[in-house]
């Protein structure tokens, strides 16, 4: 099934109806709105839809009295034998909000818009991201962002001892603020990866302390246990949050996750539900593989072989160290795995208590937890992300979760969203700061 949102429909020229065109131009011009502005815009949009439906219903009633009225491609529950005066017709939002397309009188199809909680758009139909020239390719964005050069930052490192007598290394950049952001990076990342440094520097510029936690075995030193980390491992993230709550003395805390770290974060927020609301003000997940099984299948495609080889090269190197530290604990063929399913079957699943790789994917995906997220959370997944399957775009979950804001720019790649400006700040960093600043008041 195609995505519910087709971004190509939202250029102003696609709307011959002057009222709709003006409304779309307003969205494209500003993109970010307060709750009051959002409500006013949505009210205006629905008024225009109602007017269009009224005109169409009048026409149908005059042609086929007493029959069920309908709009092309979508049946609507209105009887044509209603009173002839349709000017006072009142349409409930539930009557016209659905997951299908609504054909308007101007013969332009637009997706339905759901206004939840009376104030906001959980599925953000318009994104402010526009790729630079020659960057409208997901693979190019993904690769280019990995060779981006960002000046290093000076971290302060602290070591936390976990409940199972392992350790987590925390790299912090404290600027004396009462606002702190916790960053979870992606698979086989580190606090010195360019996308992490870019986010840290953006946070510092905006008056936020930055705390980057290193997954087990990713801080430059092997961890003490056979196990390491995985995409659904939320216990360590909770340990880090408790540390920050105790040590940072912050008035506001935000949480940011990239790729695998975003999967951990979104699952953690769903697990915690309303319990986390007093402690965390907002969260942002960037390029999140919401459905692990779908993402692994997508990674297995021939077009993504380069990424798979790169990840497996790093993972196999760590497993060689594990075999030395824990003789006999890993199968002999572990160094010959050629896919993520092979790797997760041979190591991730047995080392972390799962029956097999598919049991790991099922139990660790954040997708089932998204509807229970109870704090403002922005999910940024580019539609051209080469590593995300269609199942990683949770449109239906976002429509039923008032606090989950799903934004799907047409371009951006995987942890890309390249921008060129004086601050050397990528769009994902700018957008993240806009979101967490809005909700940290």
Query: Which of 219, 217, 167 has the alpha carbon at shortest distance from 196?
Result: 219
From residue 404, how far is each of 13, 98, 142, 225, 394 by CA, in Å? 30, 18, 25, 35, 10
Tell me, what's the pLDDT at 138?
93
Q: What is the pLDDT of residue 328?
A: 84
Please report how the helices 427-438 and 194-205 are oriented relative to each other, as an axis angle in degrees rounded to 10.
Answer: 40
Q: CA-CA distance, 4 to 124, in Å (whole number)?
A: 12
Distance CA 258, CA 193 (A): 11
The CATH H-level superfamily of 138-291+365-438 is Alpha/Beta hydrolase fold, catalytic domain (3.40.50.1820)
Maximum alpha-carbon separation in the chain:
83
- pLDDT value of residue 75: 33
In contact, 154 and 171? CB cutoff 8 Å = no
Burial 14-27 (b: 16+ CB within 10 A, else e): ebebeebbebbebb
The answer to whether 236 and 227 have CB atoms below 8 angstroms apart is no
Distance, in Å, from the CA atom of 418 to the CA atom of 287, rounded to the nearest integer, reads: 13
CA 316/CA 323 separation, integer angstroms: 10
User: In a 3-state reduction of DSSP, which class is residue 256?
Assistant: strand
Contact 286, 433 (CB under 8 A): no
Instruction: Compute the C-alpha angle 244/249/251, nearest 5°.
Output: 100
Tell me the C-alpha distance between 51 and 47, whole Å: 6
Beta bridge partners of 68: 79
Averages of pLDDT over runs of 10 residues in the chain (441 residues) are 36 42 48 51 56 52 39 33 33 31 28 32 67 92 93 94 96 94 96 97 96 96 95 96 90 96 98 95 97 95 91 90 88 81 93 95 96 96 94 90 92 96 94 93 69
CA angle 389, 318, 230 (to 5 degrees): 40
Residue 290's closest CA among 408, 129, 436, 159? 408
pLDDT in tens, 130-139: 999 989 999 9
CB 110 within 8 A of CB 45: no
The Cα–Cα gap between 168 and 218 comes to 9
| Contacts (Cβ under 8 Å, ≥6 apart) of 374 | 269, 272, 273, 274, 276, 277, 403
What's the CA gap between 191 and 218, in Å, rounded? Answer: 9
3-state helix, strand, coil in the chain (%, to 5): 40, 15, 45
Burial of 424 (0-12, 13-18, 19+ CB in 10 A): middle
Buried b (16+ CB within 10 A) or exposed e, 267-279: bbbbbbeeebeeb
Residues 379 and 285: their CA atoms lie apart, in Å, by: 5
Choose among 329, 354, 328, 332: nearest CA to 341. Answer: 354
Q: How many CB atoms lie within 10 A of CB 407?
A: 23
Under a CB-based contact definition with an 8 Å cutoff, are residues 430 and 404 in contact? no
């Amino acid at each position: 099934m195609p995505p519910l949102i087709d971004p190509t429909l939202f250029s102003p020229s696609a709307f011959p109806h002057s009222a709709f065109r003006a409304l779309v131009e307003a969205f494209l011009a500003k993109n970010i709105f307060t709750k009051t502005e959002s409500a006013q815009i949505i009210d205006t949009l629905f008024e225009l839809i109602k007017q269009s439906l009224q005109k169409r219903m009048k026409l149908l009633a005059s042609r086929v009295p007493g029959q069920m009225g309908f709009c092309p491609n979508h049946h609507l529950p209105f009887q044509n034998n209603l009173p002839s005066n349709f000017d006072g017709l009142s349409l409930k939002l539930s009557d016209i909000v659905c997951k299908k397309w609504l054909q308007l009188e101007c013969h332009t199809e637009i997706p339905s818009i759901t206004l939840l909680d009376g104030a906001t758009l959980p599925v953000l139909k318009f994104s402010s991201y526009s790729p630079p020239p020659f960057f409208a390719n997901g693979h190019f964005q993904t690769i280019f962002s990995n060779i981006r050069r960002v000046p290093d930052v000076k971290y302060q490192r602290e070591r936390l001892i976990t409940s199972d007598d392992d350790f987590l290394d925390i790299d912090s950049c404290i600027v004396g603020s009462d606002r702190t952001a916790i960053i979870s990076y992606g698979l086989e990342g580190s606090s010195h990866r360019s996308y992490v440094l870019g986010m840290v520097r953006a946070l510092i510029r905006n008056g936020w302390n930055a705390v980057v936690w290193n997954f087990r075995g990713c801080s430059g030193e092997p961890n003490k246990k056979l196990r390491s980390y995985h995409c659904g491992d939320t216990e360590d993230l909770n340990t880090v949050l408790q540390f920050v709550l105790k040590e940072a003395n912050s008035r506001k805390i935000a949480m940011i996750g990239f790729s695998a770290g975003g999967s951990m974060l979104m699952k953690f927020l769903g697990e915690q539900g309303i319990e986390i609301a007093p402690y965390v003000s907002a969260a942002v997940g960037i390029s999140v593989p919401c459905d692990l099984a779908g993402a692994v299948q997508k990674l297995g495609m021939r077009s993504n072989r380069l990424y798979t080889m790169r990840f497996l090269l790093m993972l196999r190197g760590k497993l060689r160290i594990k075999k030395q530290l824990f003789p006999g604990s890993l199968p002999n063929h572990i160094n010959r795995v050629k896919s993520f399913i092979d790797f997760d079957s041979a190591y991730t699943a047995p080392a972390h208590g799962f029956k097999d790789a598919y049991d790991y994917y099922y139990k660790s995906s954040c997708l089932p937890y998204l509807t229970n997220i109870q704090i403002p959370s922005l999910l940024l997944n580019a539609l051209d992300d080469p590593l995300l399957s269609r199942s990683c775009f949770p449109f239906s979950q976002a429509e039923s979760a008032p606090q989950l804001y799903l934004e799907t720019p047409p371009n951006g790649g995987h942890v890309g969203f390249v921008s060129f400006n004086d601050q050397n700040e990528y769009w994902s960093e700018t957008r993240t700061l806009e979101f967490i600043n809005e909700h940290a008041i």
